[in-house]
Amino acid sequence: MNPLTLDLSIYERFGFENPPVGVKFLFEKPEEIERLDTRAPLCGMVAEAHRRGTPFYADVNSYSCPPGTHVLGCDLPKAIEAGYLGPELKVFKEPYANLRALEAAPTFAKGTVNYVAFAPLEHLAFTPDLLIILTDTTSQAEILLRALSYTTGKVVTSKMTLVVGCAWLYAYPYISGEVNYLTTGLGFGMKAQKVFPEGRQLISIPYDWLPTITLNLQEMPWVPPSYSGEDPDFDKRLFAKFGYSLEL
């Protein structure tokens, strides 16, 4: 794995309850870090990195949820692939609805991802494919997403299906190159397994966006004047400058 050369220390300024986690998808087994000594769902591997506080890698035998292995390219039992699990779980009324969600969820090609490495930010020594951040507050998420758009005008979007949320956390941003965010508590598996506290944002940043977002976090005001309230007349003066009055 290539060593990390990008300075990500700016993310420490957020004071996250749980640190960002770097993720690397690998064809060959990494020699630098240890294998996870327990099992967890793929969506829960970020939480496992929070809990352990040290790097680890997972292989096909590390995952406790079949949809997670499916996202990484493994075959599902045909009945699950056909959509019959969802109605049994009372998530979908009919198999066709479940099948459509499975078909929409992006996955890695079979045999291409044999190992996945995870490392919390403090111990992140390799160049990650994704940096996944669990925010504590909406304000933290707003700052991160504003950093995405600050120099680019990038449209901020969230894409997910209500099942196989791990596909949108891992495979979608890696394959598409798009930053994605998920609201915890909306996805069935994460909610059922109580992986994360509800109502927070999981932001998954592919590596090619990290330099831009990181630099913007260093340069932009985290709290614009309109947010701070320190100058109550700021907006009034600014709009007047552009010929618009906020007076009644």
Rounded average pLDDT over 200-219: 98
Residue 232, domain member (yes or no)? no
pLDDT at 148: 98
* Cα 184 to Cα 50, 103, 137, 188, 228, distances in angstroms: 16, 22, 12, 10, 28
236 occurs within a structural domain:
no
171, part of any domain: yes
Structure confidence at residue 248 as a pLDDT band (50, 70, 90): low
Compute the mean pLDDT over every residue in the chain, rounded to the nearest whole number.
Answer: 95
The reply to whether 136 falls in a domain is: yes
Q: Is the pLDDT of residue 246 over 80?
A: no
Confidence grade of residue 179 (pLDDT, cut at 50, 70, 90): very high
Q: What range defines the domain where residue 24 resides?
A: 9-219
Quick one: average pLDDT of 20-29?
A: 98
Question: Number of structural domains, the chain?
Answer: 1
Q: For residue 240, is it within any domain?
A: no
Q: Is residue 245 part of a domain?
A: no
In a domain, 74, yes or no: yes
The arithmetic mean of pLDDT across residues 66-95, rounded, is: 93
Quick check: is 144 in a domain? Answer: yes
Helix intervals (H) in 9-105: 45-52, 66-71, 78-81, 85-89, 95-104
Is 137 in contact with 161 (CB distance < 8 Å)? no
pTM for the full model? Answer: 0.94
Those residues with Cβ within 8 angstroms of residue 144's Cβ, 6 or more apart along the chain or in another chain: 133, 135, 203, 213, 217
pLDDT grade for 235, boundaries at 50, 70 and 90: confident
Question: Is the CB of residue 93 less than 8 Å from the CB of residue 87?
Answer: yes
Mean pLDDT of all residues in 117-124: 98
